[in-house]
Homo-oligomer: A and B are copies of this chain.
Amino acid sequence: MKILYHPAAEEIQLGSVLYALSDPTRLCLVHTIAKQGEQSCSTFEVPIAKSTLSHHIRTLREAGIVRVRIQGTQHFVSLRTEDLEVRFPNLLSTILQAAQNHTMTEEL
């Protein structure tokens, strides 16, 4: 079984987090997870190839934004809310609030 790399909470870099969330597709994924909780990759409703989705999930994981848990053939993705809160207080919630009010109501 594959072991997936996750940065430790204290290794999470601000630049990587901001970069990961600057992509509309990834922000949409994060927004969806924030609303609906942990879910497997196959349940995301985004109009992209599965290899591209895999790439985006990986970017989010390596940035420290999501945790990926393997169960059978499925990969369950959840937000690292507490880790991010400790490292960068209010950052995630503030960005999600901003996304809620603007980005998500217009595009994607």
Using a CB–CB distance below 8 Å, which chain A residues touch chain B?
A: 13-16, 18-19, 21-24, 27, 87-91, 94-95, 97-99, 102-103
Q: List 26 A-B contacts (CB under 8 A).
A: A13-B103, A14-B27, A14-B95, A14-B99, A14-B102, A14-B103, A15-B22, A15-B23, A15-B24, A15-B27, A15-B103, A16-B22, A18-B18, A18-B19, A18-B21, A19-B19, A88-B94, A88-B98, A88-B102, A89-B94, A89-B97, A89-B98, A90-B90, A90-B94, A91-B95, A94-B94
Give the residue name and chain of the B residue nearest to A101 (CB).
B88
Interface of A is mostly: helix
Specify how many copies of this chain sit in the oligomer: 2
- The CA-CA distance from A19 to B95 in the complex, in Å, is 13
Which residue of B19, B89, B98 is within 8 Å of A91 (Cβ)? Answer: B98
Task: Report whether B23 and A98 are in contact in the complex, using a CB–CB cutoff of 8 Å.
Answer: no
Known pairs A15-B22, A15-B23, A89-B97. 18 more at Cβ < 8 A? A13-B102, A14-B27, A14-B99, A15-B27, A15-B103, A16-B22, A18-B18, A18-B21, A18-B22, A19-B19, A19-B22, A22-B22, A88-B94, A90-B94, A90-B97, A91-B94, A91-B95, A91-B98
